[in-house]
Structure 1
């Protein structure tokens, strides 16, 4: 009984330096099993930058070994592969259209190649500044044709912006023959040159006439490239999640021609920000900076990443890229500097963080309460053999761990409590009193010795409490 009490006291003393805890609900554990608890914004906000102060405790008992794991997954890689074809025919249709018949010649593939269905067609042309509607039909016998895709648009808007899309996406289709129909193959374009005519009578100009020059242009196609999509296992990538920000503030700086977006977070492991805006048709460079300490006291802004945000909404084009990425960073304050130039500032309506997901992986037993502890600036990263054991168990079992939820954050009731001799020695007040007592006793002893020496010098006799 005394031993149990001593063990409980030792465990309590071990966790008195951790400020916060979250109870872990183990109701889903019906047998001894691998379990995982995801770290949430409250844990990130109050933990060390390196997460070295994360601990797992079994109820009011000892520390539980665990593995701090960044969640990852095997990514599927898609690779376009050219499917051999030949043009079987081309004819003009009514309504300024052309029809191109294409036959798939799979016999040109090697014997070991696996035939791929057609998933896209790339229209290669030397022309610029165009917009065409494309329809694709398929057939097995060359007699009966069925639509595969209709109303697809290929375009080139180089006149306005470096935007081009010459690819016709289609569902995977395994047919031997296709017909590609393009609309508006001949268009009329205004020339940049103007024809000027001046009438002169008696050496004096009577009238001037300006005529625009209209040129006819046929849509020249170099070739149609049929593509198949081959899948393979790619590299292992991090699983990312959206993290709501604590707040953001937008301020335009006309003098520096940029917009500053100040963002406050809970110090999650972020690797990007996604902006929300009602603005359209823009493309702007963005710098991302984080507020970091330089000498332990003074904090300065440091660049962590850069990118480009853009929204294109023109005719049939709708393209949006509003995420700026950077290497994983944990900071409380960020700022995004959007380079406006001479353009008006963007109408920004929201900011969302994008970051990695960390979780604690451990062996859980049914009916056993657990607590997740954090908030200790002096803690060192623990060293367990659980990293190898738990990782091997997960790989060999081939099952996902049971996902457990962490409850609301609360203060550790044992935080700062003085227990045992080590607690007394680590408490600053107790240590200060002890040092004062030691110094007082030492001063008294020195003073007493000095008085004895003075007495001996005055009388030449040996003090009575010392041997002669």
Structure 2
């Protein structure tokens, strides 16, 4: 009996776990859309690249896993996607903090001594416990504390703690190696700042390579109970790699928190993050930031901004622009032109090529840039029938297994009842 039970168990597991996944080779009929790749002539570098455009993002909506490049001989061409994100390196120095003072109704002032062999620096961070201020500042440099050279006289610092804390305490100026630096923070009529020290840095920045997409306002509502403005935006395409927004605001002198959400159906919204926008248009201080950064969502088309107005009037928002990193597709060139880009296959897996190990040694900045033709339907595409669950596809087998198990259990019960039936004794 144990052997029979074991055999039935193994048979049932094999039937239930039968579906397995296997990666198939490229088959053109599985891809929905194509684009022609136009390679500039001459292209003698051995490699080229193109930037992924909005139509490819919209037609993929799978994180670009389905992207394939095919040459004229129907061979798959390897590629690697690269992005240039912003990066920053900082080297910190601790100078001597000198002559911290205040000239009545004019400015705070202090000096910094970077030593006999002063390093090159281009930023000073102010250490202060003061709150709710906006001040203009200047930075001067000198080698002997006698002759001073102006490095910047249009730096601004601020701190705000109303509703949400926001501050900017960096003084940026051209790279210099003066031994002495002198900072003045000009009074705005509210008295001196409480300054306890300063740090100096050498900051090197590499700017991100970005592209922009216009976002159309399709709905704007005011929620008086929550004191918020809700703005719905349409990116026109799905799956754009938007990770920042620049708002077009006609209002002046504001400081607001903005939450960002996204969706593909305008029903269920996903929170992407929040940030602060502000504008200070004052005689002694002018600074604007209308950018909000958030996490990138790779599938959605619509965005919603929730602007917290608190007790102020709603802002006059005229529009918005989406900002994201450029996706550059680098690939080798051969003599089998033209190339065609295939995309739009939800079952495709992301390819892995040896090219990924050679990319660090390729000077991608000097590669010829290809252009892409318009998105057109793949003429060989064959729409697949919806895949039914395995249990539905093989329902007859499940019923057969159940029937066999029931019959076997009935057989066991019958045998058990026969063995336990009392014997009749005659006397």
Q: Does 1:391 align with 2:356?
A: yes
Task: Give the Cα separation in 1 of the matches to 2:152 and 2:326.
Answer: 41
User: Structure 2 vs 1, CA of residues 181 and 55 (structure 1 numbering), >3 Å: closer, same or farther?
Assistant: closer
- Residues 1:341 and 2:310 are matched in the alignment: yes
Q: Write the mapping of 1:457-468 to structure 2, written as runs, cut at 5 A.
A: none
Does structure 2 conserve the Cα–Cα contact (< 8 Å) formed by 1:102 and 1:177? yes
In structure 1, what is the Cα distance between the partners aligned to 2:187 and 2:292?
A: 39
What is the match of residue 178 of structure 2? 175
Query: Match of 1:361, SS?
Result: strand
C-alpha offsets along residues 229-273 of structure 1, whole Å, 9 cap, x if unaligned? Answer: 234799xx9754322235543333335432121111212122232
CA–CA separation in structure 2 for the residues paired with 1:220 and 1:32: 58
Q: What's the offset of the Cα at 1:369? A: 0.2
**1:304-334 deviations in whole A, cap 9, x for unaligned?**
2223322222332223232222222120222
Unaligned runs of 5+ in 2: 1-25, 387-427
Residue of structure 2 equivalent to 1:312:
280
Query: Secondary structure of the residue that 2:357 maps to in structure 1?
Result: helix
Quick one: which of 146, 149, 161 aligns to 1:147?
149
- The answer on 1:65 being equivalent to 2:77 is yes
Corresponding position of 1:45 = 58
Matched, 1:81 2:93: yes
Partner of 2:326 in structure 1?
357
Aligned partners of 1:350, 1:369: CA distance in 2, in Å? 40
Match of 2:255 in 1: 283
Contact 1:71 1:359 in 2 (8 A): yes
State which drifts further: 319-328 or 392-401. Answer: 392-401
- 2:290 aligned to 297, 322, 327, which one? 322
Tell me what 1:208 maps to. none
The 1-side partners of 2:256 and 2:105 are apart by: 39
Matched, 1:230 2:202: yes
Tell me what 1:404 maps to. Answer: 370
Output the CA distance in 1 between the equivalents of 2:334 and 2:183: 63
Partners of 1:52 and 1:133 lie apart in 2 by 50
**Are 1:104 and 2:107 an aligned pair?**
no
Instruction: Give deviations 1:266-312, integer Å, cap 9, x for gaps.
Output: 1212223221101122222222222257xxxx952222222332222
Asked if the contact 1:253/1:260 (under 8 Å) is kept, the reply is: yes
1:242 counterpart (196, 203, 212)? 212
Q: Comparing both structures, which one devotes a greater share of its residues to strand?
A: 1
Q: CA deviation at 1:183?
A: 6.7
What is the number of equivalent residue pairs in this alignment?
356
Distance 2:382 2:335 in 1: 31
* Selected match of 1:258 from 223, 228, 231: 228
Q: CA deviation at 1:338?
A: 1.5
Partner secondary structure for residue 381 of structure 2: coil
Cα offset, 1:347, TM superposition: 0.4
Superposed displacement of residue 351, structure 1 = 0.8
- Tell me what 1:453 maps to: none
SS in 1 for 2:356: helix
Seen in structure 2, the aligned counterparts of structure 1 residues 308 and 133 have a Cα distance that, compared at 3 Å, is closer
**Which runs of structure 2 are paired with 1:159-174 in the superposition (5 Å)?**
168-174=171-177
What TM-score do you get using the length of structure 2 for normalisation?
0.67
**Partner SS for 1:360:** strand
